[in-house]
A and B are shown apart, each in its own frame.
Chain A
């Protein structure tokens, strides 16, 4: 097992190198530059914009820039943002808690809805409950988050005036009041993201469960005289969870990566909004760092999923 993990980690190194190379090249080839706003500003002479480009090394060939970035990265230096002239790691760490809180809650909400509903629907396929759950799931994942987000704002903030639609990171309250406010402002974004996720996950859990529930060993368990709950939870669910674990594991990096659209709509200062604003202002070091961290997380969680399979199903052995 330990050997397996070590081998997987070693394999990850060249693939991460490859990913970083591709990312860097694509970003370098992408049109636009971080000093675009200066060009139309008559206060900044063209020579100044040029000098800044040289200073930040934007005029060097791509491979030189890549090697420089790689060398710095291996020493733990993530570089600094062209736009805010701040270290990239501070910028990301500042945004991380908000993203973890909002997107994490949304994922938890999604799981809390998807697993019971999916399992219950699978035990009674084509019943009224299953039909309703299916219909709602289809509606749920057909509606894009930017639409439900705006709809929620119009209904809950503007018409009813119950919830704020601008997320604030510095709530001026303490104790219980602070917690209440923190929850209140997260309700809408968490709902929007969570329901969207729950919809597709419910479908997934249901079909995984349906596959398992018809197998002989489930029938055997029933024939032994075990109760319905016990059969479902202990015998069927554990095996049905394998594809679900894959799905959740691949979702985990997204928890860190933020949700670009939803964060933008509710002005949540998370990683997603950092990424989009950096992309729009061509702030390459930040875009590079965020996407690269994302890539690392994908690799890592894939490994975790593989390890979990072995625990869920002892027939799968890892070598």
Chain B
């Protein structure tokens, strides 16, 4: 019913019988959010209102140097080899994708002439292909023209396993075909609702075919231009010292008017986050610093009377506690936490629910994350149209106690609850990181009051997050009862973020613990919702599936979300950085400028 009504309304907007505002209000009345309404209009064939940030400079250049400080320096400048954001950020100064993400998670054209939509014929109705049109007249830094051949080449380059590109996951399952010099088509194997992965943002940076064609496959490491990028970007390459410095100068032939504003750019690497914050906020030696993993208290102190301030961007990064659904203390076929076992305590839903009631998110926010965190009950926190309104969290030791009492967990002689000889004792692990150890302490305290004994364990990050099969302390082996860390959302779409809890991805010895479903949670209803969402082209229904999937996770207490984390940067007062929580900090570097 809702569906029919929507279609009629979209048609009315198209014909001009209903204005956009009225449409959005109708949808809000139906319980949908405003951004979701805009999204629906876009897919329904009505162009999105352009959400470009205002760009004030009226001429190219003249802005002097832009000095960026990354406390981990870029170690390579080939975007397809980038192992972390630091490398992607460095190469993004010189290379460009077809489109980038803005703060709201909308696409902005860079090398594309326009964003494909149903209306302009870019998006196929069956969701199986996308046709991109390229901006005409774009030139590489060496003067050669940029064409669809370059795009096709990048697909061939990245999907070749011998190249060892880290972007292979994006390109291996698609087919790219050239239509003419400025048009090409991306074909998907099945209906693909989220089509804006290949050639978009940092994983979509395009290398020039004429310089890399000889270095596809096994010889990829030998390409001289791996260290001397020649791109289409706003800045031309000058100098690179791995781990230390990336330097560029203005590209006078840049394809966007009045851009870039700065004459030179540099990213200095190394050091630590606190002193990087100092160099920007307190002394103004640098203009912008990235990833300020610094306690809010320290930042507030630096900001007092300083020369800069912190800037926040919201994405979907979530800090959460995962519950182990299998038994970490029983070994089956040489495997602990085997999917063949059941967790002795968490198989009782009351225990899981009680634990969720014992996480004092307000205290965690107030004392630890400050402005860099938002409390949430959902695992999926963005973009707006995918966020559930049905979940809520609360902190109540009384309710948790009551819940446990009702389920038959009685306080024993030692003050710890027990039932049928099993004591409520948990091993709680996380990586070594100041805020995480403090969060552990807050939660342990609440648990103690409710008669639960929590043993804390912290593992060095390089071990905790490693894929080392031989190490028992990795997060994916999960030889503990609960564990806490952050999962970043790298694109404004929930598909990858939510897929990991599908039962086919359970981490086992067989898949060398590389399955991403580390809580080893199996739920048929959730699987069905994810499968349906991944094949659904209609954005409204698709969003509904993801919201449902999120709600199932919440009802079943698979994970306990602790904090929706914001990205924090530091900028001098005069700088106007254009940032988005949905992409890297330098993804819109051409739009940065300074105001007197």
1/0 per residue, CB under 8 A from A, across B274-290: the answer is: 01001100110110000
B412 in contact (CB, < 8 A): no
A318 in contact (CB, < 8 A): no
* Interface residues of B, dominant DSSP: loop
Q: Are A85 and B268 in contact (CB under 8 A)?
A: no
Q: Are B76 and A94 in contact (CB under 8 A)?
A: no
Q: Once the chains are docked, how many angstroms separate the CA of A63 from the CA of B357?
A: 52
Q: Which residue of A lies closest to B461 (CB)?
A: A36
A46 in contact (CB, < 8 A): yes
The residues of B that contact A291 with a CB separation of less than 8 Å are none
Residue among B247, B278, B460 making CB contact with A170, cutoff 8 Å: B247
The residues of A that contact B226 with a CB separation of less than 8 Å are 85
Q: Are B285 and A33 in contact (CB under 8 A)?
A: no
Q: Are A280 and B166 in contact (CB under 8 A)?
A: no
Q: Once the chains are docked, how many angstroms separate the CA of A45 from the CA of B72?
A: 24
The residues of B that contact A91 with a CB separation of less than 8 Å are 242
Q: Once the chains are docked, how many angstroms separate the CA of A264 from the CA of B180?
A: 51
A207 in contact (CB, < 8 A): no
The residues of A that contact B271 with a CB separation of less than 8 Å are 166, 264-265, 267
The residues of B that contact A273 with a CB separation of less than 8 Å are 243-244, 270
Q: Are B282 and A158 in contact (CB under 8 A)?
A: yes
B221 in contact (CB, < 8 A): yes
1/0 per residue, CB under 8 A from A, across B168-200: the answer is: 111010000000000000000000000000000
Q: Once the chains are docked, how many angstroms separate the CA of A165 from the CA of B270?
A: 12
Residue among A38, A42, A161 making CB contact with B83, cutoff 8 Å: A38
Determine how close the nearest CB of chain B comes to the CB of A185; give it in whole angstroms: 11
The residues of B that contact A35 with a CB separation of less than 8 Å are 83, 467
Determine how close the nearest CB of chain A comes to the CB of B476; give it in whole angstroms: 7
- Chain B, interface size category, equals 35 or more
Q: Which residue of B lies closest to A273 (CB)?
A: B270
Q: Which residue of B lies closest to A263 (CB)?
A: B270
A104 in contact (CB, < 8 A): no
Interface residues of A in 152-208 (CB under 8 A from B): 153, 157-158, 161, 164-166, 168-170
B164 in contact (CB, < 8 A): yes
A32 in contact (CB, < 8 A): yes
Q: Once the chains are docked, how many angstroms separate the CA of A306 from the CA of B140?
A: 59
Residue among B84, B203, B275 making CB contact with A265, cutoff 8 Å: B275
Q: Are A166 and B285 in contact (CB under 8 A)?
A: yes
Interface residues of A in 4-38 (CB under 8 A from B): 31-33, 35-38
Task: State which of A47-55, A230-238, A297-305 sits at the interface with chain B.
Answer: A47-55
Q: Are B69 and A55 in contact (CB under 8 A)?
A: no
Q: Which residue of A lies closest to B170 (CB)?
A: A43
The residues of A that contact B473 with a CB separation of less than 8 Å are 31
The residues of A that contact B476 with a CB separation of less than 8 Å are 39
Considering residues B72, B83, B460, B471, which has the most beta carbons from chain A within 10 angstroms of its beta carbon? B83
Residue among B272, B465, B496, B511 making CB contact with A43, cutoff 8 Å: B496
Say whether, besides A83-B83, A153-B275, A269-B241, A37 and B283 are in contact (CB < 8 Å): no
B227 in contact (CB, < 8 A): yes
Q: Which residue of B lies closest to A280 (CB)?
A: B462
Say whether, besides A85-B76, A166-B69, A267-B270, A32 and B242 are in contact (CB < 8 Å): no
Residue among B75, B227, B266, B467 making CB contact with A36, cutoff 8 Å: B467
A40 in contact (CB, < 8 A): yes
Q: Are B83 and A86 in contact (CB under 8 A)?
A: no
B437 in contact (CB, < 8 A): no
Q: Which residue of B lies closest to A276 (CB)?
A: B270
Say whether, besides A40-B487, A86-B242, A32 and B278 are in contact (CB < 8 Å): no
Residue among A85, A86, A166 making CB contact with B279, cutoff 8 Å: A166
The residues of A that contact B241 with a CB separation of less than 8 Å are 94, 169, 269
The residues of A that contact B496 with a CB separation of less than 8 Å are 42-43
Q: Which residue of A lies closest to B169 (CB)?
A: A45
Determine how close the nearest CB of chain A comes to the CB of B223; give it in whole angstroms: 10
A274 in contact (CB, < 8 A): yes
The residues of A that contact B107 with a CB separation of less than 8 Å are none
Q: Are B76 and A86 in contact (CB under 8 A)?
A: yes
Q: Are B462 and A165 in contact (CB under 8 A)?
A: no
B129 in contact (CB, < 8 A): no
1/0 per residue, CB under 8 A from B, across A91-114: the answer is: 100100000000000000000000
B167 in contact (CB, < 8 A): yes
Q: Are A169 and B170 in contact (CB under 8 A)?
A: no
Residue among A52, A165, A168 making CB contact with B164, cutoff 8 Å: A52
Q: Are A49 and B168 in contact (CB under 8 A)?
A: no
A256 in contact (CB, < 8 A): no
Q: Are A168 and B466 in contact (CB under 8 A)?
A: no
Interface residues of B in 249-298 (CB under 8 A from A): 266, 268-272, 275, 278-279, 282-283, 285-286
A residues with a Cβ closer than 8 A to B are: 31-33, 35-46, 48-52, 55, 80-81, 83-86, 91, 94, 153, 157-158, 161, 164-166, 168-170, 264-265, 267, 269, 273-274, 277, 280-282
Contacts A43-B167, A84-B75, A94-B241 supplied; 17 other A-B pairs, CB < 8 Å: A36-B467, A38-B467, A42-B497, A42-B500, A45-B169, A49-B514, A50-B514, A51-B161, A83-B83, A153-B275, A165-B275, A165-B278, A166-B279, A168-B245, A169-B245, A269-B270, A273-B270
A-B contact pairs, 18 of them (CB 8 A): A35-B83, A36-B467, A37-B465, A40-B487, A46-B515, A46-B516, A48-B169, A51-B161, A81-B242, A83-B76, A153-B275, A158-B278, A166-B69, A166-B268, A168-B268, A170-B245, A264-B270, A269-B245
